[in-house]
Amino acid sequence: QKEVEQDPGPLSVPEGAIVSLNCTYSNSAFQYFMWYRQYSRKGPELLMYTYSSGNKEDGRFTAQVDKSSKYISLFIRDSQPSDSATYLCAMSRSNDYKLSFGAGTTVTVRA
């Protein structure tokens, strides 16, 4: 079993739709949860960062963590063509600087 599972997609949505992305994980010791966005031919860039369970909102982006279900989500509201990218979830344990990544979900927002 992979430590972090993420559906690679691809996911195609019309402009303005809500994009819903998620990851599941098996290691209950994970405490820090991140979402990275990676445009084609670029390195990943940090999008959202949350600690433990709960929700975090930043503009059109909302990250949710449900540790009891070992499930994290990223929602993108009012999606734009510029949101077309691969979205990677990542997580780590406390006092551990190693990240475990999902495979990434490729999203296309159609104009």
Partner 1 sequence: ETGVTQTPRHLVMGMTNKKSLKCEQHLGHNAMYWYKQSAKKPLELMFVYNFKEQTENNSVPSRFSPECPNSSHLFLHLHTLQPEDSALYLCASTEVRGLNTEAFFGQGTRLTVV
Q: Count Cβ atoms within 10 A of the Cβ of residue 69 and give its class: 0-12 exposed, 13-18 middle, 19 or more buried.
A: exposed
We find the least distance from the C-beta atom of residue 18 to partner 1, in angstroms, to be: 25
Binding site for partner 1 (CB under 8 A): 2, 4, 6, 8, 31-32, 34, 36, 41-46, 49, 51, 88, 90, 92-104
- Bridge partner residues of 83 (DSSP): none
We find the least distance from the C-beta atom of residue 7 to partner 1, in angstroms, to be: 11
We find the least distance from the C-beta atom of residue 82 to partner 1, in angstroms, to be: 18
Of 58 and 96, CB closest to partner 1: 96
Nearest CA-CA partner of 90 in 27, 35, 48 = 35
DSSP annotation string for 41-62: TS--EEEEEEESSEEEEETTEE
Backbone angles phi, psi at 37, to 5 degrees: -115, 135
We find the least distance from the C-beta atom of residue 111 to partner 1, in angstroms, to be: 26
**Cβ of 46: how many Cβ atoms within 10 Å?**
10
